[in-house]
Amino acid sequence: MDLQIKKEGDYTYIDEGQGEILLLLHGLFGALSNWKAVVNEFSTSYRVVIPMMPIYDLPLKNTGIESLTDFIEGFVKFKNLQNVTLLGNSLGGHIGLNYTLRNQSNVKSLVLTGSSGLFENTMGGSYPKRGSFDYIKERVEYTFYDPKTATEDLVLEVFEITKSIPKCMKIVAIAKSAQRHNMAKDIPKINIPTLLIWGLNDTITPPLVAYEFDDRMPNTELRFIDKCGHAPMMEHPDKFNAILHQFLRKHSTTHGNVA
């Protein structure tokens, strides 16, 4: 299924299916298409909503975790989304955690995969170099256990972003904001059911990060996927979806709605 991108007011988003709401948040270099396998699998039984976060559109001084969380709050209110299950990858997980802290009564459950918020090895330990296709290709491949997961289209998409000086400055600003915005003291306050799906070979938010989330949060379930890097929903979509199905069945308010 091709993803149908909608535009309404200040928001660009995907909104597929009907039922309980899955709100998906992408990462720093992420795109709506990163969640394509999840949308295809779950939009037959759930309403799957993915907003495009304005990572490169905010004023530089406002580019960070808090302003992106403000944006998601505005989107949720604009679309009147209630009692959501929130899924976040990488930066999207960090935004999801911060949104949940502010709005725990509106989040039924939380799914984190390769989430920042405690520690992240940004761009493999270095900031993006403008104009070097080979460097960007290497860094995108570093995201995955199997470098072939980094398709030419994905590498070109990231390369185009990093060719822009303003976009590079905002990437650095968000990376620094994420590092400053450490949530170790806050996440014990999140009491809702939380699923941690982690790549066992994640080099950006390594497995020790997943264990720390699991240790600090009071209501978690931790699942690892072997031979998998920082984006399990892209690298092993079938395994990711199977784990997600199990979790959603446990916490669904309409238990018969999942195949």
- Give 163's pLDDT tier (boundaries 50, 70, 90): confident
Res 162: pLDDT: 85
pLDDT in tens, 191-218: 999 999 999 999 999 999 999 999 999 9
pTM: 0.92
Res 191: pLDDT: 96
Number of domains making up the chain = 1
Residue 63 within any structural domain of the chain:
yes
Residue 137 within any structural domain of the chain:
no
H or E element, residue 210:
helix 207-216
Residue 246 within any structural domain of the chain:
yes
Distance CA(228)–CA(73), nearest Å, equals 31
The total number of residues shown for the chain amounts to 259
Is it the case that residue 249 has pLDDT exceeding 70?
A: yes
Res 125: pLDDT: 41
- Give 99's pLDDT tier (boundaries 50, 70, 90): very high
Q: Which domain holds residue 199?
A: 5-120+184-257
Is it the case that residue 238 has pLDDT exceeding 70?
A: yes
What CATH number is given to the structural domain containing 61?
3.40.50.1820
- Could you tell me where the DSSP H helices lie in 51-110? 65-78, 91-102
Residue 38 within any structural domain of the chain:
yes
Residue 161 within any structural domain of the chain:
no
Residue 97 within any structural domain of the chain:
yes
**Selected residue with higher pLDDT from 226 and 166:** 226
Residue % of the chain over a pLDDT of 70: 93
Sign for the pseudo-dihedral over CA of 230, 235, 241, 243: negative
Question: What is the pLDDT of the chain when averaged over all its residues?
Answer: 90
